[in-house]
Amino acid sequence: MSQPVWETVEAPVGNFVGWGTQLGQYVEGEVLDYSRTAGTDFDGDPCPLLSLRLTKPAASFSKDGTRRDFDVDEIVNITCGQANLKAGVQAMNATPGDLIHIELESIMRVNKGDMKKFIFRISRAAGTPKIQEVTPSQLSTPTIPAANPFTKSGF
């Protein structure tokens, strides 16, 4: 028996994108997962959650202004609890394989604080390999498996 070939896989650990106050901040990547309710907003209520594999470098900002940079191919999560972010992400209705770009466009002062307005762009299935068409001549003839001597019927 041959030895298995093991591959080490690193799970993402809390790579969440925080939106600062720098207009033009963006995140762009391929959607790995999208749920309308897996995130939690500021009030503890369910909100959309996006998981992306970055196609461009991105930055995240904490509430105290600390910056964290992410490289291409890193996996990040975006909790979409802010009103405009939530509405835009729900309207995109992204699916795995879509490429998306979300950019902080403006910040407006409202009664409850600052409201951030975002630009949303989506390219459907742009991140997944295209399915190649197969012609009938490319199909192979199915083979019948050899008889199995360990069963009554031989198969």
pLDDT at 144: 53
The stretch 80-107 carries a mean pLDDT of 95
Which has the closest alpha carbon to 23: 86, 111, 117, 110?
117
The stretch 141-148 carries a mean pLDDT of 53
pLDDT at 155: 46
**Confidence (pTM):** 0.73
User: Does residue 16 belong to any structural domain of this protein?
Assistant: no
Instruction: Report the mean per-residue pLDDT for the chain.
Output: 84
1-40 pLDDT, tens per residue?
A: 789 988 887 665 568 999 999 999 999 999 999 999 999 9
- What is the number of structural domains in the chain? 1
User: Does residue 99 belong to any structural domain of this protein?
Assistant: yes
In the DSSP assignment, the letter for residue 137 is: G
User: Does residue 3 belong to any structural domain of this protein?
Assistant: no
Which has the closest alpha carbon to 104: 30, 15, 19?
19
111-125 pLDDT, tens per residue?
A: 888 899 999 999 998
Residue 43 domain boundaries: 26-129
User: Does residue 122 belong to any structural domain of this protein?
Assistant: yes
In the DSSP assignment, the letter for residue 153 is: S
| Per-residue tokens: 101 | 């770009």
User: Does residue 147 belong to any structural domain of this protein?
Assistant: no
